[in-house]
Amino acid sequence: MSLRTYQKRVMEWMLACFPPSSAADRTERSHRFLEEALELAQASGCSRDDALSLVHYVFSRPVGEIGQETGGVLVTLAALGSAHELDIEEAGERELARNWDRIEKIRAKQAMKPTGSALPQ
């Protein structure tokens, strides 16, 4: 899988599922990413206390550069996948295919959230 091609296909799905304003909303995308990252950490055995400690640690440090931090996310995701003997490319393809089949359900869930937030009302 080419990450560029995958990213383009994810954007195609985003634009089919959400209004362009939602797909381009940086705050909303950031919150959704954080939610998914926390769910992955939880599924990998990270405790709430460890997650909260890491939140305090990260936010006590200077803000990073988005390009470098994105690279760090990709590297650490690949490392986490290897540690759990998961093929992250396969997992990504499977989730994207699943999302295409769930557009109406995702839209309904999105409608229950405040604009720009990953949190339900």
Q: How large is the average pLDDT for residues 36-47? A: 98
Q: Are 117 and 28 in contact (CB under 8 A)?
A: yes
Q: How large is the average pLDDT for residues 20-25? A: 90
The pLDDT score that the predictor gives to residue 113 is 76
Instruction: Determine if residue 64 is left, alpha or beta; phi over 0 gives left, psi from -120 to 50 gives alpha, anything else beta.
Output: beta
Flag whether pLDDT at 24 surpasses 80.
yes
pTM of the model: 0.86
Q: Cα–Cα distances in Å, from 103 out to 25, 28, 64, 71, 109? A: 18, 18, 34, 29, 10
Flag whether pLDDT at 65 surpasses 90.
yes
Spatial distance between the Cα atoms of 121 and 66, rounded to a whole number of angstroms = 29
Residue 115 or 70, more confident: 70
Q: Report phi then psi at 15, rounded to 5.
A: -70, -25
Q: How large is the average pLDDT for residues 115-120? A: 64
Q: How large is the average pLDDT for residues 73-98? A: 97
Spatial distance between the Cα atoms of 113 and 93, rounded to a whole number of angstroms = 26
